[in-house]
């Protein structure tokens, strides 16, 4: 069990380099500062501040190759090892062979790739005829605040399961200072590119707005059972309600006879402050009074959203907006001439997968045919071992599966 507020572990190398006794260090630093100025070195090189010191000695989690692929900066063309890092998702290097993983990506690079503060959905302008396959930004690192993982997922616009997938081995109370990977990029699911698309396979809602921008939000979906699973298919928003009254369905009453006849607006209302009825009787997109449930497979069939997310979507969505619900845990998409694969565990096993129960999963049916059709004339560039890695790890992070165009490859997948 990881505990909050534990002492920071310092490596022997870190102690040798920086653990200067206070008294001697205080007498020594003016002399060192003069030497630094004389040789043109920044003062911080001689006497780092507390924040720099902490970042140098902070224990780091072990990265998988897929995580390294999503976070390593790629030098600009013609640059050497110190070239500026690109913030574009397409700049993620192909991790084959596995690249060396730096101690921590530069903080300014991570901050630059984050969505603007206060914007819950990640929008990307695009014309209707050339919508992108990928939206969002490159994955970035944060330091755990010590709060529950459900709270930190919400703060970073993620759901619970996708936060766990990106950080293998993390528990719901990661210690303060632990490095957590935030996957801020998403491949759009197949299907219509208008209105609202909910993908049960990654527990996300995608909103294709009339101005061409795309917003995405984490959601909670129905439990995998005959009476509570969220259905797939096409429907529409038929009614919008502010401060709705929640009335349990007959099936809910059969499962729990002690439920009240209704719950009016207020903090105990399971639908929160906003609800949008769908064309299917009893199914809605709504808020919640349990934000920690978002990103999980726990509802009775409805689609739950964080309170701030449903409010934003409610205001942008007119009655009559088409809604498509699909189930695609493995998605493919092009970005700047490279093909990416984003793999999640199927929703039938996603909850157990997040708890560390990870059975061997068969390759999705027709996946190789899908990849071949998607790649088209570029099929010879497919790195099938990277496809296998993505399917084995299922981190929910888009992974580049094409080799450099200059390389000569065999188009036939391994048997």
> 129: which residues sit within 8 A by CB, 6+ positions away?
none
Rg (CA), the chain: 24
For the stretch 28-72, pLDDT in tens is 444 444 444 454 544 443 333 333 323 322 233 333 434 434 333
The SS3 of residue 349 is helix
Flag whether pLDDT at 301 surpasses 80.
Answer: yes
pLDDT reported for residue 406 = 63
3-state helix, strand, coil in the chain (%, to 5): 30, 20, 50
Question: Which is higher by pLDDT, 378 or 23?
Answer: 378
Please report, for residues 66, 368, 388, the alpha-carbon distance to residue 182 in angstroms, rounded to integers and kept in the order given: 13, 29, 23
CA–centroid distance for 372 within its chain: 26
User: Which sequence spans correspond to the domains of the chain?
Assistant: 12-57, 191-326
Are the C-beta atoms of 300 and 318 separated by less than 8 Å? no
Provide the annotated active-site residues: 286, 302
CA distance 197 to 199: 6
Look at strands 214-222 and 204-208 and give their pairing.
antiparallel
- For residue 311 the two structure tokens come to 């409010």
Pick from 186, 170, 202: nearest CA to 63: 170
- For residue 86 the two structure tokens come to 């690109």
Q: Number of helices (H) and strands (E) in the chain: give both, helices first.
A: 13, 16
Lowest mean pLDDT among 83-97, 145-159, 165-179: 83-97
Flag whether pLDDT at 306 surpasses 60.
Answer: yes
Report CA torsion sign: 317, 320, 325, 331. negative
For the chain, the average pLDDT equals 74
> 375: which residues sit within 8 A by CB, 6+ positions away?
339, 381, 382, 402
Side-chain half-sphere CA neighbours of 94 within 13 A: 18
Q: Does domain 191-326 have CATH number 2.40.37.10?
A: no
Flag whether pLDDT at 111 surpasses 70.
Answer: no
> 153: which residues sit within 8 A by CB, 6+ positions away?
159, 160, 162, 163, 218, 294, 295
């Amino acid at each position: 069990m990881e505990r909050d507020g534990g002492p920071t572990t310092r490596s022997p190398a870190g102690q040798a380099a920086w653990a200067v006794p206070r008294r001697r260090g205080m007498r020594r630093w003016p002399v060192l500062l003069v030497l630094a100025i004389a040789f043109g070195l920044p003062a911080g090189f001689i006497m780092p501040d507390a924040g720099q010191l902490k970042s140098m000695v902070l224990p780091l989690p072990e990265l998988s190759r897929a995580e390294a692929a999503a976070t390593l900066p790629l030098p600009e063309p013609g640059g050497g090892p110190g070239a500026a890092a690109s913030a574009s998702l397409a700049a993620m290097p192909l991790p084959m062979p596995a690249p060396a993983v730096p101690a921590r990506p530069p903080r300014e690079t991570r901050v630059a790739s984050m969505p603007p503060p206060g914007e819950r959905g990640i929008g990307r302008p695009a014309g209707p005829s050339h919508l992108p396959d990928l939206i969002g930004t490159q994955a970035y690192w944060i330091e755990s605040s010590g709060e529950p993982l459900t709270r930190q997922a919400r703060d970073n616009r993620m759901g619970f399961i996708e936060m766990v997938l990106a950080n293998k081995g993390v528990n719901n109370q990661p210690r303060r200072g632990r490095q957590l990977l935030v996957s801020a990029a998403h491949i759009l699911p197949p299907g219509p590119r208008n209105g609202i698309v909910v993908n049960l396979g990654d527990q996300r809602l995608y909103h294709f707005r009339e101005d061409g921008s795309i917003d995405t939000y984490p959601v909670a979906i129905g439990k995998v059972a005959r009476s509570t699973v969220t259905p797939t298919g096409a429907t529409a928003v038929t009614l919008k309600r502010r401060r709705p009254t929640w009335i349990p369905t007959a099936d809910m009453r059969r499962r729990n006879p002690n439920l009240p006849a209704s719950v009016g607006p207020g903090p105990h209302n399971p639908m929160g402050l906003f609800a949008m009825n769908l064309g299917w009787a009893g199914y809605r997109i709504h808020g919640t009074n349990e934000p920690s449930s978002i990103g999980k497979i726990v509802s009775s069939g409805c689609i739950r959203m964080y309170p701030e997310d449903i409010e934003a979507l409610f205001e942008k969505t007119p009655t009559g907006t088409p809604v498509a619900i699909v189930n695609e845990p493995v998605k493919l998409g092009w970005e700047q001439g490279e093909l990416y694969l984003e793999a999640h565990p199927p929703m039938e096993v996603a909850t157990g997968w997040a708890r560390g129960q990870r059975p061997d999963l068969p390759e999705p049916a027709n996946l190789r045919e899908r990849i071949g059709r998607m790649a088209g004339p570029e099929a010879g560039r497919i790195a099938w071992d990277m496809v296998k890695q993505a399917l084995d790890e299922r981190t929910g992070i888009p992974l580049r599966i094409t080799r450099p165009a200059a390389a000569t490859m065999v188009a036939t997948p391994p048997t």
